[in-house]
Amino acid sequence: MKHLLSAADLDRDAAVALLDTAVELAAIADRPVKKLPTLRGRTVVNLFFEDSTRTRISFEAAAKRLSADVINFSAKGSSVSKGESLKDTALTLEAMGADAVVIRHGSSGAPHRLAHSGWIRGSVLNAGDGTHEHPTQALLDAFTIRRALADDVGDLAGLKVTIVGDVLHSRVARSNTILLDTLGAEVTLVAPPTLLPVGVENWPCMVSYSIDDALADADAVMMLRVQRERMHDSFFPTEREYSRRYGLDADRMAMMPDHAIVMHPGPMNRGVEIAADVADSPRSVIVQQVTNGVSVRMAALYTMLGGAQSGSEAAA
Ligand code: CP
């Protein structure tokens, strides 16, 4: 597998193999020296046209733990602000010998363009493109669910995951729905009608307008950020009203089964889609999601650049 552009690039076996590799690589974090020589001499470019905290830092940490050379490129402060195109930026990276390009871009499809244009020869990993996909976020979420609820073993068959909020603008929701379905989980999307995308009836999931109906049998509840920066219209009356109808507060968390976990990809709008006491509660795995992002992105880079046969081989 050369590129990771969509969660749909992974069938069940490939997704489980990548999660198994991440489990082995997660053990590196407990060693005194958190480094493997696996990608020594390879160059990974983090090409970020949109802001990021978690994804950019964890891809950088992941590449460094695998001993790759890392170049961080942010559109702000680069020649992109002078009008340089994606093509010319890509040709510059190719001239510098990039073996992998991790790209975040505001335009849906930009990673596909990079992967299939012939501008670069290396692997392309999608770190979030517009409102389209964020496949490594879906992988780290699946890893987190599997670690919390399935002892790091196998797929997620039979688990119920409820994803709540601004589905319309969420690449996380799309990638998670695809990957969780691939892994056998049952997904329910919950949102006001104004925050559901056209065609959602064709996604492999159920859809509800009521959060209260979708909590009682959920094994994991994933809250989505209200993406104000992508909203050029009025999608709900007020944030207070949105929070009242769709926010996860302590009363709603009490409706979840005792074993169920609370997730959020971050960054959070505390007090809007998730109450602060819920985000900080023992049932929240939001910090673990960030930790797991490093292991999963190590596994993704290893798989794209090194060729994973098995998890134990990766961590040897
Ligand atoms: N979850 C996520 O993509 O966070 P960042 O925007 O901080 O990378």
Taking the CA atoms of the chain, what radius of gyration do you get in angstroms?
Answer: 19
Query: 257 alpha carbon to ligand 1 midpoint, in Å?
Result: 28
User: What token pair was written down for 7?
Assistant: 């969660």
* Residue 305: per-residue pLDDT: 95
Q: Which residues are catalytic?
A: 54-55, 82, 104, 134
- Residue closest via CA to ligand 1's atom 5 equals 52
Q: What is the mean pLDDT of residues 125-129?
A: 98
* 137 vs 134: CA distance, rounded Å: 6
Ligand 1 site, residue 229, Cβ cutoff 6 A: no
Every domain of the chain and the residues it spans: 7-132+290-314, 135-287
pLDDT digits (tens, 9 = 90+) for 229-272: 777 777 887 899 999 999 999 999 999 999 999 999 999 999 99
pLDDT surpasses 80 at 165: yes
* 207 vs 197: CA distance, rounded Å: 11
Burial degree of 69 (CB within 10 A; 0-12, 13-18, 19+): middle
Ligand 1 site, residue 85, Cβ cutoff 6 A: no
Q: Which fold has domain 7-132+290-314?
A: Rossmann fold (3.40.50)
Ligand 1 site, residue 57, Cβ cutoff 6 A: no
The DSSP 8-state label assigned to residue 75 in this structure reads S
Question: Within 13 Å of residue 65, how many CA atoms lie on the same side as its CB?
Answer: 29
pLDDT surpasses 70 at 315: no
pLDDT digits (tens, 9 = 90+) for 36-70: 999 999 999 999 999 999 999 999 999 999 999 99
Query: 131 alpha carbon to ligand 1 midpoint, in Å?
Result: 13
* Residue 26: per-residue pLDDT: 96
Ligand 1 site, residue 293, Cβ cutoff 6 A: no
Please, are residues 21 and 302 in contact by the beta-carbon 8 Å criterion? Answer: yes
Ligand 1 site, residue 266, Cβ cutoff 6 A: yes
Query: 54 alpha carbon to ligand 1 midpoint, in Å?
Result: 5
- Residue closest via CA to ligand 1's atom 6 equals 52
Q: What is the mean pLDDT of residues 75-94?
A: 88
Ligand 1 site, residue 144, Cβ cutoff 6 A: no
Ligand 1 site, residue 204, Cβ cutoff 6 A: no
In residues, how long is the chain? 316
What architecture is domain 135-287? 3-Layer(aba) Sandwich (3.40)
Query: 267 alpha carbon to ligand 1 midpoint, in Å?
Result: 6
- Do the domains 7-132+290-314 and 135-287 sit in the same CATH topology, yes or no? yes
- Residue closest via CA to ligand 1's atom 4 equals 54
Residue 127 burial (CB count, 10 A)? 27
Query: 243 alpha carbon to ligand 1 midpoint, in Å?
Result: 22
Query: 171 alpha carbon to ligand 1 midpoint, in Å?
Result: 11
Ligand 1 site, residue 128, Cβ cutoff 6 A: yes
Q: What is the mean pLDDT of residues 13-22?
A: 98
- Residue closest via CA to ligand 1's atom 7 equals 53
Average pLDDT over the chain, rounded to an integer: 94
pLDDT surpasses 50 at 309: no
